[in-house]
Amino acid sequence: MTADAMHAHSARERSAVQRLLRNPAAVVSASVIAAMVIGAALAPWLAGYSYDAVDRANVLSGPMAGHLLGTDNQGQDIWARLLFGARVSLAIGIIVEAIEVIIGVSLGLLAAYRGGLWDTLLMRVTDAMFAFPDLLFAILLVGILRPTSPFAGFLTVFVALALVNWPSMARIVRGQALALREKEFVEAARAIGVPDRQIILRHLLPNLLSPILVAATVDIANVVLAEATLSFLGIGIQPPYPSWGRMISDSLPYLRSAPMLLVYPAAALAMLVLSFNFLGDALRDALDPRLRR
């Protein structure tokens, strides 16, 4: 990249950040996400209890001294379980999304740039994956494998969700890369003999960053929801480790007597997912003002 192009690039980024900061929804949702990330990271220190600590003297208590949000039906501190649950949601959301981006971007670029057999292969495989409701595939995969150890349980959820979600990312990258490949600057680079690898890394990838970032942000919301669904159905994260989805399903028998057992994890989950959705929309507006409507 020449100095001029570099300058133009950073100027564009700066104005995108400025546009993002002027959008109140973006600022609020980014703050919510940041707060949850901090809460999740510092969970052992902020919680006051371990996620599986049981207080038999106080079962289903409302908020009280020592239990900020009260306790659940087993006498576990709800605030502590919310914080440790945030760890599960965020870790799965971010790590699965990272795996997905790596797989989706490399396969999408490969298919778009090499074309031919690679492209046909990618399109047929993704077609087959799209022919199946994605969450159902994850449910079946996790449901059939039903790992026994907690670690294998985490791993299965990660793998199932990543396996199910990468095709849409690959399709997005492929489509964008196909359009870019025809642009003059790529043709010019090819004409002066720039090797393929450099064209992909220096010319295609930087221009693909914004659509990838937008798609990934919105997609994290879907991954978080998918994990919560698996855990809600009893086949995701296994107790004693808390997950918001599991907390919601555990709360259902106490819906009448202790509705707050439902409200806390439900609100936390909805807030996190909403924030990622809002942030994704705001990023799209900020990074590509032409798309703004």
Q: Which residues bind another protein (CB under 8 A)?
A: 127-128, 131-136, 139-141, 143-148, 221, 225, 228-229, 232-235, 245, 248-249, 251-252, 255-256, 259, 262, 266, 269-270, 273-274, 277-278, 281, 293
Q: How far is the CB of 116 from another protein (least distance, A)?
A: 20
**Closest CB to another protein among 204 and 273?**
273
Both tokens assigned to 274: 């909403």
Q: How far is the CB of 248 from another protein (least distance, A)?
A: 6
**Closest CB to another protein among 109 and 164?**
164
Instruction: Identify which of 256, 268, 233, 227 has the alpha carbon closest to the alpha carbon of residue 73.
Output: 256
Both tokens assigned to 230: 């698996």
**Closest CB to another protein among 13 and 127?**
127
Element at 275 (helix H, strand E): helix 260-287
Q: How far is the CB of 267 from another protein (least distance, A)?
A: 9
Name the 3-class secondary structure at 4: helix
**Closest CB to another protein among 54 and 271?**
271
Q: How far is the CB of 12 from another protein (least distance, A)?
A: 25
**Closest CB to another protein among 199 and 223?**
223
Judged on CB neighbours under 10 Å (0-12, 13-18, 19+), 191 is exposed
Q: How far is the CB of 37 from another protein (least distance, A)?
A: 18
**Closest CB to another protein among 197 and 256?**
256
Q: How far is the CB of 223 from another protein (least distance, A)?
A: 12
Q: What is the DSSP string of 141-195?
A: HHHHH--SSHHHHHHHHHHHHHHHHHHHHHHHHHHHHHHHHTSHHHHHHHHTT--
